[in-house]
Amino acid sequence: MNLPYSRLRARPRRPLFQKYFTALFIAVVVPLLADGASEAWFGYRDQRHTLSQRLQAEARTAAGKIQAFLDDITDQLQWTVQLPWREGMEERHRFDALRLLRQVPAVIEVTLVDGAGVERLHVSRVDPDVVNSGIDRNQDPAVSGARSARIWYGPVTLYEGSEPHITVAVAGAREINGITIAVINLKLIWDVISAIHVGQSGDALVFDGSGRLVAHPDISLVLRGDGNPAATRLKLLQQAAVAGGSGITEGANAENRSVIAAMAPIAGPDWTAIVEQPAQEALMPIRAGLLRTALLLLTGTLFAAALAYFLARRMTGPIAQLENGAQEIGAGHFDHKIEIRTGDELEGLAQRFNDMAVGLAVSQERSERIARLKRFLSPQVAELLESSNQGTLLDSHRAEVVVVFCDLRGFTGFSGSASPEEVMGLLQAYYEALGAIITRCEATLTCFMGDGVMLLLNAPVPCPDPALHGVRMATEMQRSVQTLISGWRARGHTIGFGVGLAKGPATVGRIGYEGRSDYTAIGNVVNLASRICAAAEDGQILIDATVAAEVGSTCALIPLGTRPLRGFAEGIPVFAVAPQQQEWAALPAAK
Amino acid sequence: MSTEISTSRHANLMMILRRMVVAAAVVAPLHTGALSQPAQLNRIGLVSVGAPNAGVLGADLIGDFSRRGYVVDRNIVFDRRAAEGKPDRLPTLIDELAAEHVDVIITQGYTAAVAAKERAGKIPVVVTLSGDPVGTGLVASLSHPGGNITGVSEVAAELSAKRLALLKEAVPSVKTVAVLWNADDLGMTLRYKAAELEARRVGIAIVPLGVRAPDDFDTAFAEMTRTPPDAILMVTDVLTVLNRQRVIDFAAERRLPAIYEYAYLTRDGGLMSYGPDVGAIFDRAADLADRILKGANPADLPLELPTRFELAVNLKTAKKLGLTIPESILVRADDVIE
């Protein structure tokens, strides 16, 4: 019985806890992860789009401001080309130029060219004025440029390799008004560019068409010119931003910090305004969003694990209790109680287990009682007695009983000469043959004595016609045993079988001690039956007068007269059942 | 457990977690704010060859630092040294500042710049009003000055020619101009030479009156008394500035038109002046010093040229001299004193 249980207790291949835990965990975590991932993805896209839009707007604003700075200068230059170069107008033109210098600090020198392309005046903040130099400026690209486009922007040049300047030329509405060429100190854009802030620490930068830095909040970077690492990095950033067009670009700024940049063109001088914001700052909302989501997912996952663990435990805990209980009950501990208070089906199941244990206990007790009864009653009588709950039948009382004795003749001699296997084999066959008949006839077996058997009829269970029933049983026993004996005789063993019956009052009841009790009868009739049996010869069934009187009408008897029997003072009349009577058909089973 | 319960619990959980994250985000900056460090004390050494309380030693420069967030005695300390016209004192003054371990030295004047370059060691130097540092060999170039020196250059030499031209335009009758300059100062000598060149071009005679000490002014005045010029051009350095009132008074007394370099000399009674805006120069010097204090390498900071020039005219002085200043001068004047 221990083996299957120990096998059951072995670790299951896929424990229930694992399955429940996995299922519950997945049930919570999968929607959580899906939600988190989609939120992170869409959030990232939105933020990225917003960043792009914002930086582009900043770039356009910066470009607009630079454009406004240049437009302001060209507007002022327009004043100097409103009057024609006619005789006597020279002084007016000179005053226009002087006022321009006074008005626009960024202009460091102005050259006035008349309608014929001849330089008439050169005014500078540094050098002495030059009047009517007469230089032909027709070949000057500023002059031809202004003639064709009204406003002409020259390339950015560096004064003494450091300070950036640009030449701007403006032509009058009429050719005779001439052309004004002004040199602009671009350092003054610094006032504009340093006032532009992108986010917290982002900047605006201006590059010329060739990628040279024109304006930067750190004016030193502009003044240092080309050929230093910062300028090279900025050139790369500018190229990337221009290539990136209307999107945003990632790159390194002058300080080699990672930045996000966007560009906008400045149409007039073919410059580019670029706004840059440190990547860390620009991407902070994106990173913060992703971090937030990751944190939520992590916490959610931990919570899901805790929840799944808790629920799986709640589910499998009672199951383990049930399993343990089943093992206890299986081991015969029927008083074991499974305590489950979950209020669900599992509690019901535990209750069923407990009920089953009680039922098993009752059933086992009963089967033990039946087993005890079966020691002297046939199984069906024992069952009947047990189920009808007629416990009083077994109580000691006086009853009119038929006592049947039977034993083998010549067995003692046989057992002395035969091998133990043969002896036991013979006894086995002998008792199997008798047992079948005793059981069928519902006789009460009181005891075995070697090859002898004592049987009772009409006790403890009453029997309608015990004498006749006893004779019929005896007849059948005789026939059955004789069949066996004929086989043994053929093997040379001299063995016989005799039966004796007597009827009379006797005290019946159980004798013995706790767990080992027999049912027996005590009285003169027992001795009588034993003596009659002893008197019977092989093949004979002897009965006393009482039995003979009761079966005489049904059965052919041979009176043998009185016989002196040991223990009896007088001779006792004895009858033998006629041999032909022994041909009776098998008795039907008693009710 | 039904799916509905699961999802509603999940939603509640997400909301709680979100609130916690928001709360953490709000609380975090409060902590970083509370932990901000005490301000570092920056030491600026100021050296001028000139008078105390003028130029870089004056109030303007402190104002320039204040605008950049510095508060005196809280995060900045100024260590002032004035040579008071005695350039031989400068090496000692620079040594004193070096011993004080100042973070930056700002100099005024060419000689102060030279002394700082020679003796300041690794302390960054920001030079001002030192003429043309490239021309005088103080630095290698504007864009790459080299060493520990940066600062603001002046378009000093060329401007002498411009001044002469402006003087001639203001008083067209001028034929002879006496030039007063500190002959010991290489920067100033360059300016004189530029004036001489321009004078030759426009046909003006120059009377060179180089001075080396305050006493030399008497010799110069005597020379001008002996053969009076038509006008005076005063090249401005600490020596001439310290003696400016004598020059202005002499010009007034002798009814001589004179042109100076900086607007404050016109306000002091000089007829006119043309030169870079000194206030703007000091502002740029303060900016460069600020960036060095914030960790910039002076070798990466190019020298800057002045961007703004001031023409100042004192009409009161003109009136005393019986001069009518032409409109072509007045129209371009940034400062007209009436």
Q: Name the residue among B309, B312, B305 with its Cα closest to residue B284.
A: B305
B63 has pLDDT over 50 = yes
Closest residue to B143, CB basis, from A35, A128, A162: A162
Q: How confident is the model at residue B20 (pLDDT cuts 50, 70, 90)?
A: low
Q: Are residues B186 and B60 in the same domain?
A: no
Nearest one of A213, A193, A219 to A204, comparing CA atoms: A193
Rounded mean pLDDT, A319-343: 86
B16 pLDDT tier (thresholds 50, 70, 90): low
Distance CA B265, CA B317 (A): 12
- Range A17-282 has CATH code 3.30.379.10: no
Contact yes or no for A126 and B305 at CB 8 A: no
> Taking CB atoms and an 8 Å limit, are A35 and B296 in contact across chains?
no
Co-location of B272 and B176 in the same domain: yes
Q: Residue A307: left (phi > 0), alpha (psi -120 to 50), or beta?
A: alpha
Model pLDDT for residues B276-285, shown as the tens digit of each residue: 998 999 999 9
Residues of B whose CB is below 8 A from A225 = 143
Q: Among A261-275, A526-540, B27-41, B234-248, where is mean pLDDT lowest? A: B27-41
Percent of chain B scoring above 90 in pLDDT = 56
Domain count, chain B: 2
Of B143, B300, B334, the CB nearest to A161: B143
Collect all residues with Cβ–Cβ distance below 8 Å to B21 and sequence separation of at least 6: A292, A295, A296
Q: Are B162 and B202 within one domain?
A: yes
The fraction of chain A above a pLDDT of 70, given in percent, is 95
Tell me which of A150-164, A225-239, A465-479, B282-296 is least confident. Answer: A225-239
| pLDDT exceeds 90 at position B272 | yes
Q: How far is residue B327's CA from residue B318's CA, in Å, rounded to a whole number?
A: 13
Percent residues over pLDDT 90 in chain A? 31
In which element (H, E) is residue A288 found? helix A284-330
Residue A249 pLDDT: 87
Minimal-distance CA residue of chain A relative to B14: A296
For residue B3, is it within any domain? no
Which tens digits make up the pLDDT trace of A379-436?
Answer: 777 777 777 666 677 788 898 999 999 999 888 888 888 888 888 888 899 999 998 9
Contact A409, A489 (CB under 8 A): no
Say how far apart CA A49 and CA B71 lie, in whole Å.
Answer: 43
Report the C-alpha gap between B82 and A478 in whole angstroms.
156
Q: Cite the residue boundaries of each domain of chain A with CATH code 3.30.450.20.
A: 17-282
Q: Strand, helix or coil at B17?
A: helix
pLDDT for B156 equals 63
Residue of B3, B5, B7, B13 to mutate when probing chain A, most A C-beta within 10 A? B13
Rounded to 5 degrees, φ, ψ at B5 are: -60, -45
| Nearest chain A residue to B202, by CA | A128
Whether residue A66 has pLDDT greater than 90: yes
d(CA A530, CA A524): 10
Alpha carbon of residue B173 to chain centroid: 33
- Residue whose pair of structure tokens reads 């035969």 in the numeric block: A418
Q: Which residue of B has its CA nearest to A186?
A: B307
Task: Please name every residue paired with A449 in a beta bridge, in sequence order, or none if there are none.
Answer: A452
Give the β-pairing of B42-48 and A271-278.
unpaired
Size of interface A-B (CB pairs under 8 A): 99
Which domain, by its residues, includes B332? 156-276+309-337
- Are the beta carbons of A378 and A442 closer than 8 angstroms? yes
Q: Are residues B326 and B223 in the same domain?
A: yes
What is the residue-averaged pLDDT of chain A? 86
Closest residue by Cα to residue A517 from A357, A354, A382, A372: A372
Q: Which of A103, A121, A130, A160 to mutate to test the interface with B (most CBs of B within 10 A)?
A: A160
Q: Are residues B197 and B313 both part of a single domain? A: yes
B8, part of any domain: no
Contacts for B277 with CB less than 8 Å, ≥ 6 apart = B263, B306, B308, B309, B310
Confirm whether B291 is domain-assigned: yes
End-to-end CA distance of chain A: 38
Mutate to test the interface with A, among B143, B150, B163, B287 (most CBs of A within 10 A): B143
Residue A162 has phi, psi (to 5 degrees) of: -135, -65
Examine residue B35 and state whether it is found in any structural domain, yes or no.
Answer: no
Residue B17 in this model has a pLDDT that exceeds 60: no
Strand partners, B206: B177
Collect all residues of chain A within an 8 Å Cβ-Cβ radius of residue B312. Answer: none
Max mean pLDDT range (A243-247, A441-445, A507-511, A522-526): A522-526
Residue B211 Cα, gap to closest chain A Cα (Å)? 26
Q: How confident is the model at residue B8 (pLDDT cuts 50, 70, 90)?
A: very low
Which candidate from A99, A296, A311 shows the least CB-CB separation from B18? A296
- State whether B141 and A161 contact (CB < 8 Å): yes
CB B167 within 8 A of CB B233: yes
Of A31, A160, A300, the CB nearest to B142: A160
Phi, psi of A81 (to 5 degrees): -120, 30
CB A17 within 8 A of CB A316: yes
Q: Which of B191, B300, B304, B307 to mutate to test the interface with A (most CBs of A within 10 A)?
A: B307
> What is the Cα–Cα distance from A393 to B29, expressed in whole angstroms?
97
Mean per-residue pLDDT of chain B:
85
- Percent composition of chain B: helix, strand, coil (DSSP 3-state, to 5): 45, 20, 35
CATH 3.30.70.1230 location in chain A: 379-583
Same domain? B227 vs B180: yes
CB A491 within 8 A of CB A534: no
Whether B162 and A128 lie within 8 Å, measured CB to CB? yes
Q: How far is A105 from chain B (nearest CA, A)?
A: 7
Instruction: Say if residue B109 is in the same domain as residue B245.
Output: no
Among residues A352, A334, A329, A320, the alpha carbon closest in space to that of A1 is found at A329
CA A467 to chain centre: 76
pLDDT at B169: 92
Search chain A and give the residue with CA nearest B151.
A220
pLDDT at residue A583 greater than cutoff 80: no
Question: Which residues in chain B have Cβ-Cβ distances shorter than 8 Å to A308?
Answer: none
- Would B194 be classed as within a structural domain? yes
* Same domain (yes/no): B215, B118: no
CATH number at residue B88: 3.40.50.2300
The pLDDT-based confidence of B37 (bands split at 50, 70, 90) is very low
CA A124 remoteness from chain centre: 87
Residue A10 has pLDDT above 70, yes or no: no
Q: What is the mean pLDDT of residues B218-239?
A: 92
Taking contacts as CB-CB distances below 8 angstroms, the residues of chain A near B155 are: 126
B193 & B212 share domain: yes
pLDDT at residue A134 is higher than 80: yes
Spell out which residues of chain A touch residue B159, defining contact as CB-CB under 8 Å: 126
Return d(Cα B191, Cα B189) in angstroms, integer: 5
CATH entry, A379-583, from 3.30.2290.10, 1.10.287.3510, 3.20.20.120, 3.30.70.1230: 3.30.70.1230
CA B182, chain centre distance (Å): 18
* Stretch A99-110: mean pLDDT: 92
pLDDT at B21: 54
In sequence order, which residues have a C-beta less than 8 Å from that of residue A267 and are 6 or more positions away?
A67
Residues B188 and B322 in one domain: yes
Per the rule left: phi > 0, alpha: psi between -120 and 50, beta: everything else, A26 is alpha
Instruction: Give B187-197 pLDDT, tens digit per residue.
Output: 788 889 989 99
CA-based radius of gyration for chain A: 65
Put simply, the answer to whether B332 touches A98 (Cβ < 8 Å) is yes
Q: Which residue of A has its CA nearest to B328?
A: A95
DSSP tally for chain B: helices H, then strands E: 13, 12
Question: Which of chain A's residues have a Cβ under 8 Å away from the Cβ of B328?
Answer: 94-95, 98
Instruction: Kindly state whether residue B91 falls inside one of the protein's structural domains.
Output: yes
Among A381-395, A491-505, B154-168, the range scoring the smallest mean pLDDT is: A381-395
Over residues A302-306, mean pLDDT = 90
B114 and B185 both lie in a single domain: no
Mean pLDDT of A236-244: 85
Q: How many CB atoms lie within 10 A of CB B100?
A: 13
pTM above 0.95, yes or no: no
CB contact B143 to A (< 8 Å): yes
Q: Give the residue on B whose Cα is nearest the Cα of A231.
A: B300
Tokens of A229: 């690492």
Looking at the domain assignment, is residue B11 inside a domain?
no
Rounded Cα gap, residues A552 and A384, in angstroms: 32
With an 8 Å Cβ cutoff, are A296 and B303 in contact? no
Please return the burial class of A380, using the count of CB atoms within 10 Å of its CB with bins 0-12, 13-18 and 19+. middle
B194 and B319: one domain?
A: yes
Interface touch A311/B1, C-beta < 8 Å: yes
pLDDT value at residue A528: 92
Kind and range of the H or E element at A171? strand A163-171
Closest CA of chain B from A160, distance in Å: 7
Distance between CA atoms of residues A409 and A404, nearest Å: 16
**B303–A220 C-beta distance less than 8 A:** no
Tell which B residues from 154 to 213 touch A, by Cβ distance under 8 Å. 155, 158-159, 161-162, 164-165, 169, 198, 202
Backbone angles phi, psi at B104, to 5 degrees: -145, 145
Question: DSSP character for A136?
Answer: B
Residue A497 and residue A478: Cα distance in Å, rounded?
A: 7
Q: Cβ B144–A159 below 8 Å, yes or no?
A: no
Given a cut of 80, is residue A500 above it in pLDDT?
yes
| Residue B34 confidence (pLDDT) | 41
User: Residue range A288-300: average pLDDT?
Assistant: 88
At residue A522, the 3 state secondary structure works out as strand
Instruction: Report the chain B residue with the minimal C-alpha distance to residue A104.
Output: B308
Give domain status of residue B215, yes or no. yes
Find chain B residues with C-beta within 8 A of A124's C-beta: 162
Look-up: residue for tokens 């854009």?
A: A189
Express each pLDDT in A168-183 by its tens digit. Answer: 999 999 999 999 999 9
